Amino acid sequence: MIDLSKIKLMNSQKLPLTRKQKQIIQEYCYLAALKTLSEEQSEQMSKILEIAIGDEVIDFLIGEADHFIGHKFNIIDETVCKNHQANLKERIVLEKPEADKITS
């Protein structure tokens, strides 16, 4: 599970990203929004997902990008989405009491 206290996303509007991380996220967003991927693009996508395994900031932002893209293409049911968020909030509070300060 991602450690929100480390990222402090909710507290500060800006997420500190290195130039490299920003490039990777931009690349991911570009690729994720395409209808089909060429072989080269698929390989690039795999590389990014591999990087995400070892970089929780990128991993988190990829999840957010997927969510955003899902809304953009209308493939997310907002009710499911809200339930998921409520569920997630409960879990975060249960597992990390100090997350209360971040989410409220």
- Interface with Zn ion (CB under 5 A): 81
In whole angstroms, how close is the CB of 44 to Zn ion at the nearest point?
A: 26
In the complex, residue closest to Zn ion by CB: 81
In whole angstroms, how close is the CB of 76 to Zn ion at the nearest point?
A: 6
Q: Which CB, 2 or 81, lies closer to Zn ion?
A: 81
Q: Which CB, 37 or 86, lies closer to Zn ion?
A: 86
Q: Which CB, 42 or 83, lies closer to Zn ion?
A: 83
Distance of CA 19 to the CA centre of its chain: 17
In whole angstroms, how close is the CB of 10 to Zn ion at the nearest point?
A: 16
Distance of CA 42 to the CA centre of its chain: 19
DSSP secondary structure letters along 20-70 = HHHHHHHHHHHHHTSSS--HHHHHHHHHHHHHHHH-HHHHHHHHHHHHHHH
Distance separating alpha carbons of residues 41 and 76, to the nearest angstrom:
24
